[in-house]
Structure 1
Amino acid sequence: MRSKHPPSRSARTAEPHTRAEPATSSVQLLTVPEELAGQRIDNFLQARLKGVPRSRIYRILRKGEVRVNKGRIKAEYKLQAGDVVRVPPIRTAEQAPAPVVGDQLRRLVEASILYDDGGLLVINKPAGLAVHGGSGVRLGLIEILRQMFPSSPFMELVHRLDRDTSGAIFVARKRSVLKHVQSELRAGRMEKSYLALAAGKWPRGRRTVEAPLKKNTLKSGERMVSVNPEGKASETRFQVVERFSGATLVAAEPVTGRTHQIRVHAQFVGCPLAGDAKYATDEINRAFRDVGLKRLFLHSAVVGCSLPDGKRVRVEAPLPGDLEAALSALRAGAQVQG
């Protein structure tokens, strides 16, 4: 949570550099320009310490080695114009070469661009591609886009999708667009609709799931979420689209934006999502593999928002071929026996 009292700005003792080199052997003082106001400190550092693992950035933040206006801050602190960021020395040995986007991956992402106008990108993110690097992932969607658009001075995720989830995601190419669309998201005016294949028969009349969710991190570092009365209030709206033998295709609209929300709420009503390695049983997932589904069936199908100039943007992301094939098999009479 951002502190109500940001650190004092009285620490401008030297003319700061405006950009960090890939490896640093001395303390740097970086002044935040107006166009980067509102950016999280972790993302600010990631963009300037090329090749430094995200885990390392979080570590120096936790230890207080990074300071803003001489004060300690958390990873979610949002920078203000004129803030002075102290970046500690980063030993060369701790850095890995910055990964380069290969031609095949570049072509895949280029082909996945659904919309690019008014400072807003909409990408039909492939399943298996993380939205950003870190935790063993050296190259995520945002890093790929920054390499694909080197002349673009700004490129940030508006929201996130799980690595295993496919579909439409907003990326801002202007600070003003990022701030506006995120304000729309917080106010509940951003449209987000997913298609999900649930195991079993979705309960008739169950259109809303309101169940508090609590996030836990296992010793392995894996994140798991569960329904817990001590968790955060969470709500998802569901609508049955099509019923099959042993499965139900549903449209899901998350009213709140908790981690793994749709997946855990579906599990909560007894219908975990097909192919979900975290929240469905091995038996269920084996049964769906028999009808050709080899991964999580959760797809961001529609996103919509307004732009700062008032223009309304609504983009639909077509289902990937593997998910369409699974539905075709079910429509042809394939039965899920899990």
Structure 2
Amino acid sequence: MTDLEVGSGSPQSQAEKSAVSFVEITDAHAGQRIDNFLITYLKGVPKSRVYRILRKGEVRVNKGRIKAEYRLCEGDLIRIPPIRVSEEKRPLGVSASLGKLIQASILFEDDRLLVVNKPSGLAVHGGSGISQGLIEVLRVMRPDARFLELVHRLDRDTSGCIMVAKKRSMLRFLHEQLRNGTIDKRYLALVAGRWPNRRKVVNAPLLKNTLQSGERMVHVSPEGKRSVTEFAVISRYQQATLVEAKPISGRTHQIRVHALHVGYPLLGDDKYGDQQACKLFKEKGLKRLFLHAASLKVPMPEEEKPLEVSAALSADLQSLLDSLVDESRC
């Protein structure tokens, strides 16, 4: 008995996998490696088993054998052999309050792209003790969406603009733009001290390492990767400066470590911040990292003008700024 799955590319139930199945590839999965496709499609099947059926030729594309690195094309017909899988866990639900918050945080959407103003405290994806992140929430909220993938990352405590591709072709396009440096990303950060006007660029290589606890830490090192951030002063306050940061490269914790490197660590940063300054501003009402992805300027395929999206500061961060003495107005 043959189960014909046309164009879905979605995981099958355990019962359906007891027979040979066929999947026709649509644009949503075109360009993806066959091994990565099968790992997602055959949820519950160990990776070693997936690679075994590929090596043995039990998986066929257009009736022919393929290797694990084969990239799928729209219209490809995949034959998947009968395979036993473990019982899948039921996906977690999304609370009404979280669903309402995320829906209200959507800044832009068309048939190719979502841009969300991610709340601080929400990881972009699950893992490392986090059961559910932004991408998992969106997939639960959009059960009929054939493709939803993060284009880039934001730290859990960082708020602001994050892109989610709704088509694999869009994901490939945006990844190319990120590599070429044609996507303009601007952040707002509140740093301790008086940032000097002359300090406009920080060019310092960054090296990432993992501690025994599993925590990721980044520091400036000549052995690190080239990293550049442009900074501009927005407002000056007593004992703090609001700066705009434009990362030219895209390294982990780049803005936070570059600001620390030149002596003006971000406020509310419990990993790289100055403890005394963080304590002072916590008493003023700052309960989180003051780092916000404020805007994006993104080239769009087949369009003359780039997409421009901005995200306002959250109420708590704006309230903090309003409570501080703005020296530029004195």
Report TM bin, short chain. Answer: 0.7 to 0.9
In structure 1, what residue type is equivalent to 2:325?
Answer: R
CA contact (8 A) 1:127 1:166 kept: yes
Partner in structure 1 of residue 315 of structure 2: 321
**Aligned partner of residue 164 in structure 1, secondary structure:** coil
Distance 2:20 2:188 in 1: 47
Distance 1:320 1:32, change over 3 A: farther
TM-aligned CA deviation for residue 196 of structure 1: 0.3
Cα distance in 2 for residues equivalent to 1:240 and 1:89:
59
Shift of 1:43: 7.4
Q: How does 1:19-58 map to 2 (within 5 A)?
A: 19-21=10-12, 33-35=25-27, 36-39=29-32, 44=37, 48=41
Alpha-carbon distance change, 229 to 280 in structure 1, aligned in 2, over 3 angstroms: same
Q: Is the 8 A contact 1:69 1:85 kept in 2?
A: no
**1:336 matched residue in structure 2:** none
Contact 2:294–2:311 (CA under 8 A) maintained in structure 1 = yes
CA gap 1:197/1:97 in 2 versus in 1, 3 angstroms: same
Instruction: Give the corresponding residue for 2:295.
Output: 302
Q: Are the counterparts in 2 of residues 168 and 300 from structure 1 also a CA contact under 8 Å?
A: yes
- Aligned with residue 121 of structure 1, among 114, 124, 146: 114
User: Matched residues in 1 for 2:3 and 2:220: separation?
Assistant: 51
Contact 1:22 1:49 in 2 (8 A): no
Contact 1:23 1:90 (8 Å CA) reproduced: yes
Q: Using the alignment, how far apart are the partners of 1:210 and 1:314 within structure 2?
A: 27
Please state how far the C-alpha of 1:157 moved relative to its aligned partner: 1.1
Is 1:331 matched with 2:295? no
Residues 206 and 226, structure 2, Cα contact 8 Å, conserved in 1: yes
Q: Percent identity over the alignment?
A: 47
1:229 CA displacement: 0.9
Residue 263 of structure 1: CA displacement? 0.5
- Partner of residue 106, structure 1: 99
Whichever residue aligns with residue 215 of structure 2, its letter is: E
The Cα of 1:89 is off from its aligned counterpart by 6.3
What does 1:94-243 align with in structure 2 at a 5 Å threshold? 96-243=89-236
CA pair 231-116 structure 1, distance change in 2 beyond 3 A: same
8 Å contact from structure 1 (residues 23, 49) kept in 2 = no
Amino acid in structure 2 at the alignment position of 1:247: A
* Count of residues in Structure 1 that have an aligned counterpart in Structure 2: 306
Question: What is the alpha-carbon distance in structure 1 between the residues aligned to residue 70 and residue 179 of structure 2?
Answer: 16
Contact 1:156–1:173 (Cα < 8 Å) also in 2:
yes
> Do the aligned partners of 1:69 and 1:84 also contact (CA within 8 Å) in 2?
no
Q: Distance in 2 between matches of 1:145 and 1:299?
A: 21
8 Å Cα contact 2:38/2:50 also seen in 1: no
The aligned counterpart of 1:4 is none
Letter of the structure 2 residue corresponding to residue 162 of structure 1:
D
Moved more, 64-73 or 183-192: 64-73
- Give me the whole-angstrom Cα distance separating, in 1, the residues matched to 2:253 and 2:35: 22
- Tell me the C-alpha RMSD between the 2 structures: 3.3
Structure 1 length normalisation: TM-score? 0.79
Residue segments in structure 2 that go unaligned for 5+ positions in a row: 56-65
1:179 is paired with a residue of what secondary structure? helix
**Matches of 1:33 and 1:138 in 2, distance apart?**
30
Uncovered stretches (5+) of structure 1, i.e. residues with no partner: 1-13, 334-338
Q: Which has the larger radius of gyration?
A: 2
